[in-house]
């Protein structure tokens, strides 16, 4: 959905490469809020996920000829995607700033948003947060994500740490279930492997 995908090798291991397709969803740097945080994912076929755990390893690089010089390597997951891709929940990473010396920027390494009504340019000013946080992550390294979803709560764990990186106590979308997507945004080469989905009632 608005991305291209291919199987490539990293260190002799086959992984899935996903990049935003600018032909199907153009990017406008002058209207940033309107042209990012959209339906940008490789969507799993025949999945209907309500509650449970989604686990995947991701690796992010900045494209050599990125149309957005400030790209931070945006990569993550979308879930509870509805049938026409007009609504979903998402948690994604900005690995480039995970170890920034600037604390304000470093605290933006993880982001939750809900499409279409609570994108990045609105969600962080919405009561009930925080909806973003810091994480010890970087570009060009494998990062393990695990999102545990139960009803309206989503909890993100990174690299098997016992303490969650981010907990969203009340997700903003009203979808009860839907598909899962491997999500990327502008200027990012996104790589995915070892996807595991466990459904719970």
pLDDT digits (tens, 9 = 90+) for 10-42: 999 999 999 999 999 999 999 988 899 999 999
Structural domain count, the chain: 1
63 Ramachandran zone, left/alpha/beta (phi>0; psi -120 to 50): beta
Q: What pLDDT does 201 receive?
A: 78
- The pLDDT value recorded for residue 140 is 98
Backbone φ and ψ of 123, nearest 5°: -60, -35
| Confidence grade of residue 121 (pLDDT, cut at 50, 70, 90) | confident
Predicted confidence (pLDDT) at residue 185 exceeds the cutoff of 90: yes
Is the peptide bond preceding residue 127 cis, with omega within 30 degrees of 0?
no
The pLDDT of residue 7 is 98
Work out the mean pLDDT of the chain and round it to a whole number.
96
Domain around 39: 3-200
Query: What CATH number corresponds to the domain at position 60?
Result: 2.60.120.560
Give the separation between CA 72 and CA 94, rounded to whole angstroms: 5
Across 144-159, average pLDDT: 98
């Amino acid at each position: 959905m608005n991305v291209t995908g291919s199987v490539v090798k990293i260190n002799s291991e086959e992984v899935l490469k996903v990049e935003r397709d600018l032909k199907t969803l153009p990017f406008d740097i002058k209207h940033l809020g309107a042209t990012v945080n959209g339906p940008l994912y490789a969507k799993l076929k025949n999945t209907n996920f309500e509650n449970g755990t989604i686990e995947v390893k991701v690796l992010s690089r900045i494209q050599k000829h990125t149309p957005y010089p400030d790209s931070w390597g945006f990569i993550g997951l979308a879930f509870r995607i509805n049938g026409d891709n007009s609504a979903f929940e998402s948690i994604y990473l900005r690995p480039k700033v995970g170890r920034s010396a600037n604390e304000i920027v470093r605290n933006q390494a993880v982001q939750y948003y809900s499409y279409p009504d609570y994108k990045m340019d609105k969600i962080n000013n919405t009561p009930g947060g925080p909806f973003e946080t810091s994480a010890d992550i970087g570009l060009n390294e494998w990062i393990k994500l695990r999102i545990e979803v139960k009803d309206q709560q989503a909890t993100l764990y990174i690299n098997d740490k016992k303490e969650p990186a981010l907990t969203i106590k009340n997700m903003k979308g009203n979808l009860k279930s839907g598909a899962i997507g491997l999500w990327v945004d502008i200027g990012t080469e996104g790589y995915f492997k070892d996807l595991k989905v466990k459904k719970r009632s």
